[in-house]
A = this chain, B = another copy of it.
Amino acid sequence: MYTHQNSAILLIHCHDHKGIVVSVTEFIHKNNGNILYLDQHVDHKENEFFMRVQWDLTGFAIPTEKISDYFSTLVGERYNMNYDLYFADKPQRLAIFISHLPHCVYDILSRVSSQEWNVEIPLIISNHEKLRHVAEEFNIPFYHIPITKDNKIEQEQNILSLLAEHKIDLVILARYMQILSESFTQSFPHQVINIHHSFLPAFPGAKPYHSAYERGVKLIGATSHYVTPELDGGPIITQGVTDVTHKDTVENMKRKGFDLEKIVLSKAIWSHIQRKTLIYNNKTIVFE
């Protein structure tokens, strides 16, 4: 499903100036790169500039390992840019954190198994034994790391060691029912994606379907976001909703919500692994 593997992706963020697009595209053009996708966004209110450009590396004049250096010297420094350079053919390495509910992890694993996504999943971590069978069905190492108030700091250290050991690029909280500590989330800035089962900012925290039922809303939602120290307060990547009626019990809402959660989470992951997301001011730019 993934094409143009031999291509480079630049994600750029800086203050807006005249001439940035020219400079970036010229850099690629003069070095014989063919632009495959170019998306840019100017936040006119904040005067900030964001860009994603992907180009074919076939015949590109600058060797792969020197592109970042050259770009920095020739373009980046001039505009005081923040930028990241990625190569589309390199699979990202994901760790999945789960607890009791399997619908999201099943959705993710079936996409990986189908080669819909170009990622590797070296491990699944859970604070419960219950879903070990899911990991085993897909032949992925499963780590049971139960967390209590008393062992939380220690266990998070163990988790961080595992993530480092397995060179994890991205952590997915697939209905993981533990709140990560501030120090944990700061160790993985913008690299932890959560799915919350409400249309945030409505119903943050625990038991959002119960709250939705009590309030009598006519739609329920799901929100995937980058995790920050503020609970359910990080930059939103994707949201979805579905209709409910007076007939829907809390149980029904959960059942309907499962479908929403798994699709919304997988869309967010897909945006991230294509390197189409940028973060600014606790909000996301998600290029299409």
Which A residues lie at the B interface, using CB under 8 A? 1, 3, 18-19, 21-22, 25-26, 29, 32-38, 40-45, 50, 101-103, 106-107, 110-111, 113-114, 116, 133-134, 137-138, 199-203, 215-219, 221, 235-241, 245-247, 249, 251, 254-255, 258-259, 263, 266, 281-286, 288
Asked, given contacts A21-B21, A102-B110, A199-B199, whether A217 binds B245 with beta carbons under 8 Å apart, the answer is: no
Query: Which residues of chain B come closer than 8 Å to A246, judged between CB atoms?
Result: 41, 43, 50, 283-286
Chain B CB within 10 Å — which of A25, A237, A255 has the most?
Answer: A25
Q: Among B19, B38, B138, B200, point to the contact of A29 (Cβ < 8 A).
A: B19
Q: Is the CB of B217 within 8 A of A200?
A: yes
Return 8 A-B CB contacts under 8 Å, by A number: A22-B25, A37-B42, A45-B249, A103-B116, A201-B215, A216-B235, A216-B236, A218-B237
Query: Which residues of chain B come closer than 8 Å to A116, judged between CB atoms?
Result: 103, 255, 258
Q: Using CB atoms, name the residue of chain B closest to A203.
A: B201
Q: Among B35, B110, B215, B249, point to the contact of A110 (Cβ < 8 A).
A: B110
- CA–CA, A38 and B217, complex, Å: 23
Q: Using CB atoms, name the residue of chain B closest to A131.
A: B114
Q: Using CB atoms, name the residue of chain B closest to A263.
A: B259
Query: Which residues of chain B come closer than 8 Å to A106, judged between CB atoms?
Result: 106, 110, 113-114
Q: Is the CB of A38 within 8 A of B21?
A: yes
Q: Among B33, B138, B288, point to the contact of A245 (Cβ < 8 A).
A: B288
Q: Is the CB of A3 within 8 A of B236?
A: no
